[in-house]
A and B are shown apart, each in its own frame.
Chain A
Amino acid sequence: MDEDNNKFNRRNFIKTAGLASGVIALAGAAGAGLAAGSNKDSYTGWGRTAYGEDQFFNRKPFLVDTPTYDKVGETRRIAFIEDLFKRNGELSRLLFPRGDETPLWSFDEGVEKLPEPLKTYYLEHPDALGEFRKAIEKSQEQAGTWDKYKHKYLLADAWSTAHASPIGGQGAFPPQPHGNPEESDFRGVNEETLPLKSPAHGSSLIKQIAYSFGASLVGIAKVKEDWVYQGYMRGVGKIDFEVPEHWKYAVVIAVPHEWDSMYANPTYGTSYDAYSKLRFIAGKLEVFLKEIGYAARSHVPPTSYEIAMPPLAIDAGLGEQGRHGVLVTPELGANTRLAAVTTNMLLEPDKPIDIGIKEFCSKCKICAEECPSGAISFTDKPENVIRGYQRWNINQDKCFTIWNSVATSHARGCRVCLAVCPYSRKNNWIHKIVREVDPRDPTGLFSSAMLAMQKKFFTYPGGQEYLPAPDGNNKTFGEAPDWLMTEEWFNI
């Protein structure tokens, strides 16, 4: 009888313990989820880069022979004046010459009085000049209202300035090339070159070295003439040039912005954190290549490029172009910044990938809805044909006006489109599932379901809300990290 009772009690005990354990396990799952969401290890590119661990997406099933951009006509190289910064730089030199010199041109004089190539460019793009004028007016307003915001954004501004400090001026790294590339890219090259075992060895070595310098993603592409700017060469000046023979391959490097500040764009983020990282990585890689006997030239942000980076990175298999014109990679989404080193070292190029970003962008349009300037297209398919390639293209001039409108100390960017892009997600299990399943679903149903959730579940302030009053409320996409919030540390 007693034995029966004991057995019965033990059985009851296990039944009750089972119920309690089930409830505790559910609580444990909640705790594990909370930890996974807040874990700093999920901040791709800010921890595990040194051994290439951040390039964790297996590209093999998605390799393709032809890149995902569409060639639809006669192609040509990019004139340097088509680059927003080069163009604005040229115009600014006329409008605001150094010292006390009188301006060499004013808006009232009209396009006809502009020197070439600005004149031809603005005759072909009349709206762009008006937009630049608006940007200048906005920048004056921005400077005027900064006093109101300078305490709130003190830490964000200081953080950005600190990151920008190694970029400009005499002490900038890497130093700007001097002279034509046949001299400057070979300057300091070791005269002894050991025989390389194979191009595959070369690629593998250079990638490992780039990771060790801090690159999150590395890909290798043959340099394609269409991506090389025409009309300006660093170290030489304004000149038409053939693509130098020794720019055979490009090692393309990507790093992300610090994630929390990136989500808190436009006011708390900066471009300079990624820019300064890239400059150190590419500059060191240039030195490394020269030390082992190869010509090398780094192409680094913000403006020290002879090659357009996004298409080069597509060729190098790092990702695809998104609706917002930015490269989208499987690991970093649109939170991807690029630099490259061109070299004559024999390397094995990577293949491009197709993970269906174009198809997803056709449905998504979140960046276009959130862009405060209306610079991003809403069309279902890319409609612009740019230099022979059909692709999405943003209105860079409108975008620049917004840089001059948000509550920052000066025009230091917006980057809202990077933050809101559903691909810009950290590396934890929940996003990993989406990352792996979406490109494998041929029906597109999974991505439609994910997109519906994305739009319903997540908070999007809406384009104008990112602007200061009276147009908006200085909203950010995500919450700023406490280390960038002045009020957390100082009495203001």
Chain B
Amino acid sequence: MFPNSTILGPLFWIVMGGLYTISFTGFYYWITDSIIKMNWWKWLLSILWFLGLNITIAGGFTLFGEKEIRAGFWFLSVFGGVFIVLGVGLWRLLTSR
């Protein structure tokens, strides 16, 4: 991540870990304050969706980093599109009674 530093790389991933923890805690509070009833597989699907979205974004930007700009945009459009559709589907599933 930071090729000229041996310190910033590990720090970056510690911060990322913290961000994920806070975002999941926040999500947990949103859910428990809402009318949505969660069970284990709904939690699992939600976490997988968010991780998949992160990987899609990382994948597209990896291709940008390789100077494969067109491939990066295609990657983000196709898989990003898939994740948006999946996200809508997931939301309907979570909110359905």
Not counting A14-B26, A33-B58, a sample of 8 additional A-B residue pairs whose C-beta atoms are within 8 angstroms of each other reads: A25-B23, A29-B58, A32-B1, A33-B61, A37-B68, A38-B66, A426-B66, A458-B68
Tell me the A434-484 residues at the B interface (CB within 8 Å). Answer: 453, 456-459, 478-479
Contact of B55 with A37 in the complex, beta carbons under 8 Å: no
Interface residue B95 (Cβ < 8 Å from any Cβ of A): no
Contact of A40 with B3 in the complex, beta carbons under 8 Å: yes
Interface residue A236 (Cβ < 8 Å from any Cβ of B): no
Q: Write out the residue numbers on chain B whose beta carbons fall within 8 Å of the beta carbon of A19.
A: 23, 26
0/1 interface trace, chain A 13-40, chain B, CB 8 Å (1 if under): 0111111011011101111111111111
Please tell me which one of the listed residues B18, B26, B33, B68 contacts residue A22 in the complex, with CB atoms under 8 A apart: B26
Given the complex of chains A and B, what is the CA–CA distance between A224 and B54 in angstroms? 50
* CB closest residue in chain A, given B53: A26
Please tell me which one of the listed residues A15, A37, A456 contacts residue B30 in the complex, with CB atoms under 8 A apart: A15
Q: Which residues of A contact B (CB under 8 A)?
A: 11, 14-19, 21-22, 24-26, 28-41, 426, 428-430, 453, 456-459, 478-479
Given the complex of chains A and B, what is the CA–CA distance between A35 and B61 in angstroms? 8
* CB closest residue in chain B, given A23: B23
Q: Which of B25, B27, B57 has the most CB of A within 10 A?
A: B57
Q: Write out the residue numbers on chain B whose beta carbons fall within 8 Å of the beta carbon of A21.
A: 18-20, 22-23, 26
* CB closest residue in chain B, given A425: B66
Tell me the B1-60 residues at the A interface (CB within 8 Å). Answer: 1-3, 12, 15-16, 18-20, 22-27, 29-30, 33, 50, 53-55, 57-60
Contact of B3 with A37 in the complex, beta carbons under 8 Å: no
* CB closest residue in chain B, given A42: B66
Interface residue B67 (Cβ < 8 Å from any Cβ of A): yes
Q: Which residues of B contact A (CB under 8 A)?
A: 1-3, 12, 15-16, 18-20, 22-27, 29-30, 33, 50, 53-55, 57-68, 70-71, 74-75
Nearest CB of chain A from residue B7's CB, rounded to whole Å: 15
Nearest CB of chain A from residue B48's CB, rounded to whole Å: 15
Known: A33-B58, A37-B62, A430-B63. Is A25-B20 also a contact (CB below 8 A)?
yes
Contact of B26 with A15 in the complex, beta carbons under 8 Å: yes
Contact of B12 with A459 in the complex, beta carbons under 8 Å: no
Given the complex of chains A and B, what is the CA–CA distance between A457 and B24 in angstroms? 33
Given the complex of chains A and B, what is the CA–CA distance between A15 and B33 in angstroms? 10
Contact of B19 with A458 in the complex, beta carbons under 8 Å: no
Given the complex of chains A and B, what is the CA–CA distance between A19 and B25 in angstroms? 10
Please tell me which one of the listed residues A14, A26, A33 contacts residue B59 in the complex, with CB atoms under 8 A apart: A33
Nearest CB of chain B from residue A489's CB, rounded to whole Å: 19
Given the complex of chains A and B, what is the CA–CA distance between A457 and B57 in angstroms? 16
Given the complex of chains A and B, what is the CA–CA distance between A126 and B21 in angstroms? 72
Please tell me which one of the listed residues A28, A30, A35, A426 contacts residue B19 in the complex, with CB atoms under 8 A apart: A28
Contact of B62 with A34 in the complex, beta carbons under 8 Å: yes
Known: A428-B62, A457-B75. Is A16-B26 also a contact (CB below 8 A)?
yes
Please tell me which one of the listed residues B22, B58, B63 contacts residue A18 in the complex, with CB atoms under 8 A apart: B22
Across the A-B interface, the 4 shortest Cβ-Cβ residue pairs: A18-B26, A37-B65, A33-B61, A33-B58
Given the complex of chains A and B, what is the CA–CA distance between A17 and B57 in angstroms? 21
Q: Write out the residue numbers on chain B whose beta carbons fall within 8 Å of the beta carbon of A34.
A: 61-62, 64-65
* CB closest residue in chain B, given A481: B67
Q: Write out the residue numbers on chain A whose beta carbons fall within 8 Å of the beta carbon of B66.
A: 37-38, 426, 428
Contact of B24 with A18 in the complex, beta carbons under 8 Å: yes
Q: Write out the residue numbers on chain B whose beta carbons fall within 8 Å of the beta carbon of A457.
A: 63, 68, 70-71, 74-75
Contact of A41 with B3 in the complex, beta carbons under 8 Å: yes
Given the complex of chains A and B, what is the CA–CA distance between A453 and B82 in angstroms? 15
Contact of A32 with B12 in the complex, beta carbons under 8 Å: yes
Please tell me which one of the listed residues A17, A33, A41, A458 contacts residue B65 in the complex, with CB atoms under 8 A apart: A33
Contact of B33 with A30 in the complex, beta carbons under 8 Å: no
Q: Write out the residue numbers on chain B whose beta carbons fall within 8 Å of the beta carbon of A453.
A: 74-75
Known: A30-B58, A36-B65, A457-B74. Is A22-B3 also a contact (CB below 8 A)?
no
Given the complex of chains A and B, what is the CA–CA distance between A479 and B20 in angstroms? 36
Given the complex of chains A and B, what is the CA–CA distance between A15 and B34 in angstroms? 12
Given the complex of chains A and B, what is the CA–CA distance between A3 and B19 in angstroms? 27
Nearest CB of chain A from residue B68's CB, rounded to whole Å: 6
Contact of B25 with A25 in the complex, beta carbons under 8 Å: no
* CB closest residue in chain B, given A454: B71
Nearest CB of chain A from residue B44's CB, rounded to whole Å: 18
30 contacting pairs across A/B (C-beta < 8 A): A14-B26, A16-B26, A18-B23, A18-B25, A21-B18, A21-B20, A21-B22, A21-B26, A22-B26, A25-B20, A30-B57, A30-B58, A30-B61, A31-B61, A33-B59, A33-B60, A33-B65, A34-B62, A37-B61, A37-B63, A37-B68, A39-B3, A39-B65, A429-B62, A430-B59, A457-B63, A457-B70, A457-B71, A457-B74, A458-B70
Q: Write out the residue numbers on chain B whose beta carbons fall within 8 Å of the beta carbon of A35.
A: 1-2, 65
Known: A32-B1, A457-B74. Is A15-B29 also a contact (CB below 8 A)?
yes
Please tell me which one of the listed residues A22, A30, A428 contacts residue B23 in the complex, with CB atoms under 8 A apart: A22
Q: Write out the residue numbers on chain B whose beta carbons fall within 8 Å of the beta carbon of A26.
A: 53-54, 57
Given the complex of chains A and B, what is the CA–CA distance between A24 and B54 in angstroms? 11
Q: Write out the residue numbers on chain B whose beta carbons fall within 8 Å of the beta carbon of A32.
A: 1, 12, 16, 58, 61
Known: A30-B61, A38-B65. Is A11-B70 also a contact (CB below 8 A)?
no
